[in-house]
């Protein structure tokens, strides 16, 4: 840290503050980042609302039933928005970071990284909303046989939630048990690794959208041919498992950065 570039100057400026002030400021930024996840449910539930309006116009008599399925699916699509809200509220009103021992700068970065990780919630929100719209459509086309298609919608939506759950886990680790806050030799590497652990989780947007699309198409197919529900589910789950891979990669890298960081050994 002998040389003075703008990063060193910036870090030294940050370190000139009281540790508490640094962590609280970062918590405010982290809370803001977490709320960006709200994009997802907004898009997804809007799609479901559109499908609900469409179903009401194509089958006015069955609109009560199709609207109920729409609200059920939209309720699931709300999950990621609620999770992010909870993380933001914890950062603002029950901040666990200011009580932690360790490097103030790393703890501050943990707060921001936790918020960034929650951005992944965009994915499940969009995907589950699409599934909700398709569930509503299937219910209006075939009101008597909507049970099998609704089941596929619920199952597919549950799978689409996984990447959002991964992000929640990483955010909670960062806030309550980041292993990097104590006992290290290079502040800059540890701070950047912590930030990277949060940024990696943004990948969860993809699996969330993709698996939700698969859930919607599975729901649509089951609505048309309920007899083949088990075949549809098998294919849907297989495809969703493949769509999950990049989310798993991100989770692995995030965990490696925090718990088995290879970069310190290279110093």
Which residues here bind other proteins, judged by CB under 8 A?
17-18, 20-22, 24-33, 35-58, 60, 63, 67, 70-71, 74-75, 78, 81, 84-85, 88, 92-93, 95, 98, 122, 125, 129
Cβ-Cβ contacts under 8 Å for 111 (sequence gap 6 or more): 23, 26, 27, 29, 30, 91, 97, 174, 175
Question: Quick check: helix, strand or coil at residue 59?
Answer: coil
Supply the minimum distance, in Å, between the C-beta of residue 25 and other proteins. Answer: 3
- The DSSP code sequence of 85-141 is HHHHHHHHHS-SSTT--S-HHHHHHHHHHHHHHGGGGHHHHHHHHHHHHHHHHHHHH
User: b vs e for 228-256, b when ≥16 Cβ sit within 10 Å of the residue's Cβ?
Assistant: ebeebbeebbebbeebbeebeebbebbbb
Supply the minimum distance, in Å, between the C-beta of residue 126 and other proteins. Answer: 8
Residue among 23 and 257 whose Cβ is closer to other proteins: 23
Residue among 53 and 189 whose Cβ is closer to other proteins: 53
Residue among 125 and 207 whose Cβ is closer to other proteins: 125
Supply the minimum distance, in Å, between the C-beta of residue 73 and other proteins. Answer: 10
| 63 and 109 Cβ atoms separated by less than 8 Å | no
Residue among 46 and 179 whose Cβ is closer to other proteins: 46
Supply the minimum distance, in Å, between the C-beta of residue 237 and other proteins. Answer: 27
Residue among 209 and 233 whose Cβ is closer to other proteins: 209
Residue among 47 and 166 whose Cβ is closer to other proteins: 47
Rounded Cα gap, residues 65 and 145, in angstroms: 12
Supply the minimum distance, in Å, between the C-beta of residue 202 and other proteins. Answer: 13
Output Rg (C-alpha) for the chain, integer angstroms. Answer: 22
Residue among 19 and 184 whose Cβ is closer to other proteins: 19
Please tell me what DSSP assigns to residue 54. H
Rounded Cα gap, residues 142 and 72, in angstroms: 17
Please tell me what DSSP assigns to residue 61. G
Supply the minimum distance, in Å, between the C-beta of residue 232 and other proteins. Answer: 25
| 129 and 44 Cβ atoms separated by less than 8 Å | yes
Supply the minimum distance, in Å, between the C-beta of residue 153 and other proteins. Answer: 16
């Amino acid at each position: 840290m002998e040389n003075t570039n703008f990063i060193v100057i910036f870090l030294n400026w940050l370190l000139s503050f009281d540790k508490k002030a640094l962590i609280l400021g970062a918590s405010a930024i982290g809370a803001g980042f977490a709320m960006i996840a709200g994009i997802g449910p907004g898009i997804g539930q809007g799609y479901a609302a559109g499908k609900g309006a469409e179903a009401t116009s194509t089958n006015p008599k069955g609109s009560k039933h199709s609207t109920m399925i729409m609200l059920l699916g939209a309720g699931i699509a709300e999950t990621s928005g609620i999770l992010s809200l909870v993380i933001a509220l914890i950062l603002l009103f029950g901040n666990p970071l200011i009580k932690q021992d360790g490097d103030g700068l790393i703890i501050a970065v943990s707060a921001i990284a936790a918020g960034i990780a929650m951005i992944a919630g965009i994915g499940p929100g969009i995907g589950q909303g699409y599934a909700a719209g398709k569930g509503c459509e299937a219910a209006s086309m075939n009101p008597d046989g909507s049970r099998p298609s609704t089941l596929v919608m619920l199952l597919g939506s549950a799978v689409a939630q996984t990447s959002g759950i991964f992000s929640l886990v990483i955010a909670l680790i960062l806030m309550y048990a980041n292993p990097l806050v104590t006992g290290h030799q290079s502040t800059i590497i540890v701070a950047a690794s912590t930030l990277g652990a949060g940024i990696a989780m943004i990948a969860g947007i993809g699996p969330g959208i993709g698996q939700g699309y698969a859930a919607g198409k599975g729901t649509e197919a089951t609505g048309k041919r309920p007899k083949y529900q088990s075949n549809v589910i098998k294919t849907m789950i297989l495809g969703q498992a493949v769509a999950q891979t990049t989310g798993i990669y991100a989770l692995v890298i995030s965990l490696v950065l925090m718990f088995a960081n290879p970069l310190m050994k290279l110093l």
